[in-house]
Structure 1
Amino acid sequence: MTSDPDGDDRFVAPPRWVGPSADPADEQFGDVVDSTTLAATDHDAVLVGEPYDGAVIGRRGAADAPAAIREELAALKTRHLAGSTPPTLGDLGDVVVSDGDVAAVQRGLAETTRAVHALDALPVFLGGDNSLTVANVTPLLDRDVGVVNLDAHLDVRRVRDGPTSGTPYRQLHDAGLAGYVCLGARHFETAGPYVDTLDEWGWQAVPAEAVGGGGVEGAVDRALDALSEVETLYVSVDCDVLDAAAAPGVSAPTPGGLSTRELFGIVRQLCADPRLRGVEVVECAPPLDASGRTVAAAARVVAHALAGTAVDADTGAESAEVTG
Structure 2
Amino acid sequence: MINIDAHFDTRDEDYSTSGTSLRQILEEYYNADYLVLGISQGGNTQALFNYAKEKDIQFVYADELLHQVSPPIKDMIERFIHNHDTVMFTICMDVVDSAFAPGVSAPAVLGIYPHTVFELAKRVIPSEKVKSISIAEMNPTYDSDQRTAKLVANLVHHCLI
**TM exceeding 0.5:** yes
After superposition, where does 1:173-252 map in structure 2 within 5 Å? 173-176=26-29, 178-212=32-66, 215=69, 218-252=72-106
Count how many residue pairs are aligned between Structure 1 and Structure 2.
160
Q: Percent identity?
A: 28
Alignment match of 2:126 (pick from 267, 272, 279): 272
Which residue of structure 2 lines up, in the alignment, with residue 164 of structure 1? 17
1:291 — aligned with what? 145
- Distance apart, 1:179 and its partner CA: 0.9
* 4+ residue runs over 4 A deviation: none
Q: 1:285 and 1:235 mapped to 2: Cα distance?
A: 20
Query: In structure 2, do the counterparts of structure 1 residues 238 and 206 end up closer, same or farther at CA, with 3 Å as the change threshold?
Result: same
Local SS of the residue matching 1:268: helix
Compute the displacement of 1:264 (Å).
1.4
**How far has the Cα of 1:213 moved from its partner?**
5.3
Q: 3-state SS of the aligned residue for 1:301?
A: helix
What is the CA distance between 1:269 and its match in structure 2?
A: 2.2
Checking the alignment, whether the CA contact within 8 Å between 1:183 and 1:223 is kept in structure 2 is no
Shift of 1:224: 3.3
SS of the residue corresponding to residue 219 of structure 1 reads helix
- 2-structure distance, mates of 1:195, 1:220: 22
**Residues 159 and 269 from structure 1, CA distance in 2 versus in 1: closer, same or farther, beyond 3 angstroms?**
same
Q: Deviations over 1:77-115 (max 9, x none)?
A: xxxxxxxxxxxxxxxxxxxxxxxxxxxxxxxxxxxxxxx
Which has more radius of gyration? 1
**Under a length normalisation based on structure 2, what TM-score does the superposition of the two structures give?**
0.91
Encode CA deviations 1:24-54: one digit per residue, 9 max, x unaligned.
Answer: xxxxxxxxxxxxxxxxxxxxxxxxxxxxxxx
Deviations 1:230-270 (A, max 9, x none): 10011101100100111010010021111111111211221
Which whole-Å CA distance do the structure 1 matches of 2:131 and 2:70 have between them?
22
State the shift of 1:228 in Å.
Answer: 3.0
* Unpaired stretches in structure 2, ≥5 consecutive residues: none
User: d(CA) in 2 for partners of 1:284 and 1:159?
Assistant: 22
Instruction: Give the superposed CA RMSD.
Output: 1.6
With CA pairs under 8 Å and 6+ residues apart, which has the higher RCO, 1 or 2? 2
User: Relative to structure 1, is the Cα distance of residues 251 and 292 closer, same or farther in structure 2, using a 3 angstrom cutoff?
Assistant: same
Gaps of 5+ in 1: 1-146, 308-324
Aligned to 1:258, the other structure's residue is in SS state coil
Per-residue deviation, 1:170: 0.8
1:206–1:223 CA contact under 8 A, matched in 2 = no
TM-score by length of 1: 0.47
- Is residue 259 from structure 1 mapped to residue 109 from structure 2 by the alignment? no
Contact 2:36 2:58 in 1 (8 A): yes
